[in-house]
């Protein structure tokens, strides 16, 4: 028998057992800490573990020093933020691109760069589904907490292609009470057979008091769209961005030319008989600009008070002023103002100082700003003569002279 060890000494057989228990404790503790760290990362608190949610003003700017996340100083500072901004912050903690079916991705790629704002070689707008600006889906934290719900849109930008619809949508998304799907759904013209449940599922989550929106410029010229949208909801508010139809047609042609350099000249497509001045109304670039004819179909299903016609030209010259009209029409508090815009000398049009979900200045798309081909001045005069009676009728129907015939 082995002699006993010194008094008070532990048996040697117990030492490995103690180390094993200690190692298990350390592993459990590390796992717990890792889980907590991952949760805080998902909640966008990796760098702010010791404070509350990073503050963001209703304008989309970070509270405190511009360009940096700043911890809220306490209840007083939290109370200073607009309530809608705090709600939106929860919904948009960390935007992530949503995986879409191949058919929708194809639509978005095909239409990318399609819209542009007026007067600037198509630099700002977008009929392109998502264009150069990706859709901002619900934030990770909102999904974890199951906050908000998906609603059918209460407002839709229905047109027009090459009018500046992408610019309008992106400017509106700065507002904390506007939630919009970035990619064009094309539900009421291409995917109506998929049903309203499919359409609703495309929409972002919203909280009470927020507006769900989408834009698909081709709706304005789709014959079935007015009845279909009315069947969804007769209270839907409709926005139409309109632009000088001659400039719009040239911009439309410019986009097609960038994709298919071998297409015929603008003049040959615009006229059936150039010498006789006979314009080819069947060409889509010409047909879209017959605003009065398209509007007649919409007025059979919606009263004029539910439609707002946004000047594409003014959207470039005075974006804050035109956005003021839009916010009033949608029943929103006037939050988007001059402080949200700056004029980009290089691109030649206004850009956002800070886009939604970002602390950096933002201008839309490198494809926005293609130079227009040189068109014979006589061709442009003939087209203005062609559009003049349609424009005047449109002015009467809307009660606004857009000044395209000067």
E strands within 216-301? Answer: 237-242, 271-273, 278-279
CA nearest to 115, candidates 213, 255, 291: 255
* Strand ranges in 216-283 using DSSP code E only, listed in sequence order: 237-242, 271-273, 278-279
Instruction: Convert 175-186 to b/e letters by CB count within 10 Å (16 or more is b).
Output: bbbbbbbbbbbb
For tokens 């180390």, the residue is: 19
Neighbours of 333 (CB within 10 A): 13
Which helix (H) or strand (E) segment is 352 a member of?
strand 349-352
| Structural contact between residues 397 and 163, judged by C-beta atoms closer than 8 angstroms | no
234 is catalytic: no
- Where are the extended beta strands (E) located within 117-210? 149-150, 155-159, 178-180, 205-206
- Which residues are annotated as part of the binding site? 162-166, 243, 251, 368-372
Q: Do 324 and 330 touch, CB atoms closer than 8 A?
A: no
User: In the 8-state DSSP scheme, what is residue 155?
Assistant: E
Catalytic-labelled residue, pool 162, 237, 347, 354: 162
Name residues whose C-beta falls within 8 Å of residue 291's C-beta, 6 or more positions apart in sequence: 160, 242, 245, 390, 391, 394
In the block, tokens 């410019």 appear at 254
Residues 6+ apart with CB under 8 A from 365: 113, 123, 126, 128, 131, 132, 133
Longest dimension (CA), the chain: 124
Residue 28 backbone class (left: φ over 0; alpha: ψ -120 to 50; beta: rest)? alpha
Binding residues for 3'-phosphoadenylyl sulfate: 162-166, 243, 251, 368-372
**Gap between the Cα atoms of 219 and 153, Å rounded:** 14
Task: Quote the CA–CA distance of 168 and 183 in Å, as a whole number.
Answer: 14
Enzyme catalytic residues: 162
């Amino acid at each position: 028998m082995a002699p006993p060890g010194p008094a008070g000494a532990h048996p040697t057989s117990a030492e490995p057992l103690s180390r094993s228990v200690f190692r298990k404790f350390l592993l459990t503790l590390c796992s717990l800490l890792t889980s907590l760290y991952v949760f805080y990362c998902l909640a966008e608190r990796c760098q702010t573990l010791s404070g509350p949610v990073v503050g963001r003003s209703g304008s989309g700017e970070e509270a405190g020093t511009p360009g940096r996340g700043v911890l809220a100083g306490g209840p007083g500072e939290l109370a200073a933020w607009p309530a809608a901004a705090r709600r939106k912050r929860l919904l948009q903690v960390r935007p992530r691109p949503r995986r879409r079916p191949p058919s929708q991705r194809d639509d978005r790629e095909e239409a990318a760069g399609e819209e542009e704002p007026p007067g600037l070689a198509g630099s700002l707008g977008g009929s392109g589904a998502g264009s150069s600006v990706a859709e901002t889906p619900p934030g990770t934290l909102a999904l974890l907490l199951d906050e908000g719900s998906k609603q059918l849109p209460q407002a839709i930008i229905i047109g027009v292609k090459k009018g500046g619809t992408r610019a309008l949508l992106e400017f509106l998304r700065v507002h904390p009470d506007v939630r919009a799907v970035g990619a064009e759904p094309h539900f009421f013209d291409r995917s109506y057979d998929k049903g309203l449940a499919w359409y609703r599922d495309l929409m972002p989550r919203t909280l009470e008091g927020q507006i769900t929106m989408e834009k698909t410029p081709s709706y304005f010229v789709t014959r079935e769209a007015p009845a279909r949208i009315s069947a969804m909801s007769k209270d839907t508010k409709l926005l139409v961005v309109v632009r000088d139809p001659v400039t719009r047609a040239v911009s439309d042609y410019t986009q097609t030319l960038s994709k298919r350099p071998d297409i015929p000249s603008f003049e040959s497509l615009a006229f059936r008989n150039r010498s006789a001045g006979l314009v080819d109304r069947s060409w889509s670039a010409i047909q879209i600009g017959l605003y009065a004819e398209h509007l007649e179909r919409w007025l059979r299903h919606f009263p004029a008070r539910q439609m707002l016609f946004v000047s594409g030209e003014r959207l470039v010259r005075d974006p804050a002023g035109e956005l003021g009209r839009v916010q009033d029409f949608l029943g929103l508090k006037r939050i988007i103002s001059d402080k949200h815009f700056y004029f980009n000398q290089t691109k030649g049009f206004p850009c956002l100082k800070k886009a939604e979900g970002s602390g950096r200045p933002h201008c839309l798309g490198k494809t926005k700003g293609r130079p227009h081909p040189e068109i014979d001045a006589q061709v442009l005069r003939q087209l203005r003569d062609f559009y003049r009676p349609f424009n005047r009728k449109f002015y009467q129907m809307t009660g606004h002279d857009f000044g395209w015939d000067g």
